[in-house]
Amino acid sequence: MFKLVFKQYKTKSSTPDLRDVINFDDFEITQNDLRQNDNNVQRLSIINEKPIQMIPGIKSPNDWRSYKLTHHPGIVIIRNPFTERGRRYWIARCLRDYPRTPNVVNLNERLFNDSVRSDWWKQLNLCSDKDEFQRIKTAMRWTTFGYHHNWDTKLYDEQMKSSFPEDLSSLCRLFAFTLGYSDFKPEAAIVNYYPVGSTLSGHVDHSEPNKTAPLFSFSFGQTAIFLIGGTTLEEKPTAIYLQSGDVMIMSGESRLCYHAVPRIIKTQRDSTSMLASEQDDDSEIELKLLDTALFKNVCEPTFWEPFSNYVDDSRININVRQVLNLGDFKL
Cβ atoms 154, 207 nearer than 8 A: yes
Nearest distance, CB of residue 256 and ligand AKG, angstroms: 12
Of the two residues 161 and 289, which places its CB atom closer to ligand AKG in the complex? 161
Q: Could you give the CA distance from residue 67 to residue 42 in angstroms, rounded to a whole number?
A: 5
Of the two residues 181 and 258, which places its CB atom closer to ligand AKG in the complex? 258
Among 84, 205, 208, 246, binds ligand AKG (CB under 6 A): 205
Peptide bond into 102 cis (omega under 30): yes
Q: Could you give the CA distance from residue 34 to residue 32 in angstroms, rounded to a whole number?
A: 6
Asked if residue 200 binds ligand AKG (CB under 6 A), the reply is: yes
Asked if residue 139 binds ligand AKG (CB under 6 A), the reply is: no
Enumerate residues 6+ apart whose C-beta is below 8 A from 228: 69, 72, 75, 237, 238, 240, 254, 257, 258, 259
Residue type for position 80: N
Largest CA distance in the chain: 55
Asked if residue 217 binds ligand AKG (CB under 6 A), the reply is: yes
Q: Could you give the CA distance from residue 235 to residue 231 in angstroms, rounded to a whole number?
A: 8
Nearest distance, CB of residue 142 and ligand AKG, angstroms: 8
User: Which uninterrupted H or E stretch holds 302?
Assistant: helix 301-311
CA 174 to centroid of chain Cα atoms: 15
Which residue's beta carbon is nearest to the bound ligand AKG?
317
Among 192, 222, 223, 308, binds ligand AKG (CB under 6 A): 192
Residue 155 per-residue DSSP state: -
Nearest distance, CB of residue 153 and ligand AKG, angstroms: 16
State the burial class of residue 284 (Cβ atoms within 10 Å of its Cβ: 0-12, 13-18, 19+): exposed
Among 37, 251, 319, 322, binds ligand AKG (CB under 6 A): 319
Strand partners, 195: 314
Residue ranges in 242-281 that form contacts with ligand AKG under rule CB under 6 A: 242, 259, 261
Among 80, 251, 254, 317, binds ligand AKG (CB under 6 A): 317
Asked if residue 239 binds ligand AKG (CB under 6 A), the reply is: no
Asked if residue 190 binds ligand AKG (CB under 6 A), the reply is: yes
User: Which uninterrupted H or E stretch holds 7?
Assistant: helix 2-10
Interface pattern 72-101 for ligand AKG (x via CB under 6 A)? ------------------------------
Nearest distance, CB of residue 154 and ligand AKG, angstroms: 11
Of the two residues 261 and 299, which places its CB atom closer to ligand AKG in the complex? 261
Binding-site ranges for ligand AKG (CB under 6 A)? 190, 192, 200, 205, 217, 224, 226, 242, 259, 261, 317, 319
